[in-house]
């Protein structure tokens, strides 16, 4: 197979890993019925924190843990404001988006463009020799392997464990969950925190691997994409991951095409995937049945399976026991 394609696929998989973490993390949060809108700011702040801690301590692990802690604390603040203080979670999330972005700029100033540690490349012996797939999937770093694991574990957790069943019930119909002895708000805190930790991991993923280092507004825009792919992915781990990879493909197609159109400024290519994600969102939110009917039969089932999915019925709704 064309080595360029293999290299591109490999880089798409690698560069999408943080988006997978953020998407799956937010999926967990929303499955529990809470919207953490602060992602764009959380990722920035946790990316900065992860880089700064790793830079100062020399330890990648401490860096990642610091990023995850930051993501978790922000998420818990959203949950606390929404659940305990009964404020609009969208408002709190939005304010935190701006606040965290500015915090990352202010606190991160001394770390701008400093060379820092990076996650080492680590091909998996044996698996890397599988033709084509081995080079694409297993010639990566640990973070990427962790992203595979997160997708799989999320899927098993949601659909094959008691805990996952409880999580889904809390997001779907909290009254029924409460009636079955589930502490609804505790589950909501728990998964908001877990989701936030994954979002923080995504931040660390950028500054310590995919987009090495730290600069002003280092990852701006990514958080919004993560929020969009949760919707695009119909709150299902596989389709959320698919959305993350799709965004990676769009980005790399953009940079591959760019040399062919010297008249169009690079900023257009950089913004194009964001606009395309909006289009994709329009596709899943609009008239799915009508769209499917117009497609040839073999495609129809695939498209329907891809586009299916609806938000948890209790998403964003407050729960108070009688």
Buried b / exposed e across 232-249, counting CB within 10 Å, b at 16+? Answer: bbbbbbebbbbbbbbbbe
Asked if 173 interacts with another protein (CB under 8 A), we say yes
Figure out which of the listed residues 117, 134, 164, 254 binds another protein, where binding follows CB under 8 A. 164
Contacts of 200 (CB under 8 A, 6+ apart): 42, 46, 49, 50, 67, 68, 69, 70, 71, 72
End-to-end CA distance of the chain: give it in Å, rounded.
63
Give the number of C-alpha atoms closer than 13 A to the C-alpha of residue 100, restricted to the C-beta side. Answer: 34
Asked if 235 contacts 27 with a C-beta cutoff of 8 angstroms, the reply is yes
Cβ atoms 156, 40 nearer than 8 A: no
d(CA 20, CA 206): 12
- Choose, by CB under 8 A, the member of 275, 299, 305, 308 that binds another protein: 275
Residues 116-155 that bind another protein (CB under 8 A): none
CB of 101 to another protein, least distance (A): 7
**222 scored as a contact of another protein (CB under 8 A):** no
| Residue of the chain from 267, 289, 293, 297 that contacts another protein (CB under 8 A) | 267
Q: Is 16 in the site for another protein (CB under 8 A)?
A: no
Using the rule CB under 8 A, which residue among 1, 57, 109, 152 binds another protein?
109
State yes or no: residue 3 binds another protein (CB under 8 A). Answer: no
Does the protein bind another protein through residue 319 (CB under 8 A)?
A: no
CA distance 304 to 83: 35
Could you tell me the smallest distance in angstroms from the CB atom of residue 162 to another protein? 6
In the bound state with another protein, the residue whose beta carbon lies nearer, of 72 and 143, is 72
Smallest distance, another protein to C-beta of residue 213, A: 17
Is 215 buried (19+), middle (13-18) or exposed (0-12) by CB count in 10 A? Answer: middle
Per-residue binding letters, 39-78, with another protein (x by CB under 8 A): ----------------------------------------
Residue 318 makes contact with another protein by CB under 8 A: no
Reduced 3-state DSSP string for 173-193: CHHHHHHCCCCHHHHHHHHHH
Candidate list 162, 289, 297, 298; residue touching another protein; CB under 8 A: 162
Give yes or no for residue 246 binding another protein (CB under 8 A).
no
Ramachandran region, residue 33 (left: φ > 0; alpha: ψ -120 to 50; beta: rest): left
How many alpha carbons fall within 13 Å on the CB side of residue 153?
12
Regarding 172 and contact with another protein (CB under 8 A), the answer is yes
The distance of closest approach from Cβ of residue 141 to another protein in the complex, given in angstroms and rounded to an integer, is 29
Kindly list the residues in this chain that would bind another protein in the complex (CB under 8 A): 37, 81, 84-88, 90-92, 94-96, 98-99, 101-103, 105-107, 109, 159-166, 168-169, 172-173, 175-182, 221, 224, 227-228, 231, 263-265, 267-268, 270-272, 274-275, 277-278, 281-282, 285-286, 312-313, 321-322
């Amino acid at each position: 197979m064309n080595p360029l394609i293999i290299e591109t696929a490999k880089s798409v998989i690698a560069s999408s890993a943080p988006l997978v973490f953020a998407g799956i993390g937010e999926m967990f949060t929303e499955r529990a019925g809470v919207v953490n809108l602060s992602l764009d700011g959380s990722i920035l702040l946790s990316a900065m924190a992860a880089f700064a801690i790793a830079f100062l301590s020399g330890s990648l692990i401490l860096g990642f843990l610091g990023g995850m802690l930051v993501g978790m604390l922000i998420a818990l603040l959203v949950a606390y404001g929404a659940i305990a203080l009964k404020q609009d979670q969208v408002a709190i999330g939005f304010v935190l988006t701006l606040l965290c972005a500015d915090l990352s700029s202010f606190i991160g100033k001394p770390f701008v463009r400093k060379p820092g540690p990076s996650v080492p490349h680590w091909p998996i012996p044996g698996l890397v020799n599988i033709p084509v797939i081995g080079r694409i999937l297993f010639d990566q770093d640990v973070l990427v392997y962790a992203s595979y694991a997160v997708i799989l574990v999320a899927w098993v957790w949601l659909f094959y464990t008691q805990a996952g069943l409880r999580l889904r019930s809390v997001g779907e119909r909290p009254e029924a969950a409460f009636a079955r002895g589930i502490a609804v708000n505790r589950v909501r805190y728990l998964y908001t925190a877990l989701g936030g930790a994954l979002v923080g991991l995504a931040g660390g993923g950028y500054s310590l691997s995919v987009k090495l280092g730290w600069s002003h507004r280092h990852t701006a825009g990514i958080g919004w994409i993560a929020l969009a792919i949760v919707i695009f992915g119909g709150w299902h781990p596989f389709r959320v991951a698919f959305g993350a990879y799709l965004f990676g493909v769009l980005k790399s197609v953009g940079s591959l095409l760019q040399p062919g159109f010297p008249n169009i400024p690079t900023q257009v290519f950089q913004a194009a995937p964001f606009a395309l994600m909006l289009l994709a969102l329009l596709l899943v939110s609009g008239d799915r049945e009508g769209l499917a009917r117009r497609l040839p039969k073999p495609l129809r089932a695939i498209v329907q399976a891809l586009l299916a999915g609806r938000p948890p019925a209790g998403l964003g709704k407050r729960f108070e026991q009688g």
